Amino acid sequence: MLEMRRANDRGTADFGWLYSRHTFSFGNYFDPQQVGCSDLLVINDDIVQPGQGFGTHPHRDMEIFSYVLEGALEHKDSMGTGSVIRPGDIQMMSAGTGIQHSEFNHSQNELVHFLQIWITPDRKGVKPRYQQVHFPDAEKRGQLRLIISPDGENGSLSVYQDTRVYAGCFHGEERASLMLPPGRLVYVHIARGAVTINGIHFEGGDGARLRDETAIDIQGGVDSELLIFVLRPVELPSV
């Protein structure tokens, strides 16, 4: 069964310096039917104006990763990490016992467009950690690349949860399939472009929950980039 979540049905926040679309309830946006999916709590689709950003703020006991689509995102945190995240880079921060960080548009001239995603961890009170890995376009072109897993499999980033995340880019005749373990709950998010998944057409910003599916079949892409979350068979995050 596939349950659609269309892009235009998402929550919206516009602060001038930040324009954000919320797949799930976040900040001032609340929808009792959209409070996460399994351990996936947040997918925020953020566009930040040049030179602007999120000032230093705290997090605790949350797995947070950023996926940059355009531009460059500057990160600084209380662990002493300073980095710039660009398209192809994945940044994962395990907040654990507590961390403070800031995120800014690194450019004074161009927008930065990125996804900020939160996954609830399977344990609390871990030592905070930071990871950043670059996945070349060639590893996602016409295929699904494992980018996040519990054990860092195949060069992916490690997450404190029984979750696997795949990224792929599809255009024209490119197609791929992902076989799903029995009983898993899956969430698909289309970061941009258009694509057909299991026979249903998706546009950028669309998402879907998949239950009781044995495979995900991807084809008919038009400059598409997508993320697939393979999650535990629980309906809502535990926070």
CATH number at residue 204: 2.60.120.10
Q: Does a structural domain hold residue 239? A: no
On whether residue 8 sits in a domain, the answer given is yes
Residue 90, SS3 per DSSP: strand
Alpha-carbon distances, residue 5 vs 11, 87, 188, 233 (angstroms):
11, 25, 10, 19
Tokens of 162: 């029984």
The pLDDT value recorded for residue 236 is 75
**How many C-beta atoms surround the C-beta of residue 91 within 10 A?**
23
40 in any annotated domain: yes
Q: What mean pLDDT value characterizes the chain?
A: 95
Is residue 237 a part of any domain in this protein? no
How far apart, in whole angstroms, are the C-alpha atoms of residue 85 and residue 69? 10
Which residues, other chains included, contact 17 with Cβ-Cβ below 8 Å and sequence gap of 6+? 48, 49, 52, 53
Average pLDDT over residues 58-62: 93
Q: pLDDT (tens digit, 9 = 90+) per residue, 3-44?
A: 999 999 999 999 999 999 999 999 999 999 999 999 999 999
Do the Cβ atoms of 118 and 60 come closer than 8 Å? no
Provide the pLDDT for residue 239.
Answer: 67
Does the pLDDT at position 235 exceed 80? no
Query: Looking at residue 1, what is its pLDDT?
Result: 86
Asked if the model's pLDDT at residue 70 lies above 70, the reply is yes
Q: How many domains are there within the chain? A: 1
188 domain-assigned = yes
Q: How many CB atoms lie within 10 A of CB 201?
A: 10
Which 8-state DSSP code applies to residue 50?
A: T
* CA pair distance 189, 50, nearest whole angstrom: 26
Q: Is residue 11 part of a domain?
A: yes
Give tens-digit pLDDT for 205-219. 999 999 999 999 999
Max Cα-Cα span within the chain = 48
Q: Look at residue 26 and tell me if it is in a domain.
A: yes
Q: Which of 49-58, 143-152, 162-171, 197-206 has the lowest mean pLDDT?
A: 49-58
236 inside domain: no
Domain that holds residue 64: 2-231
Average pLDDT over residues 182-188: 95
Query: Averaged over 156-163, what is the pLDDT?
Result: 98
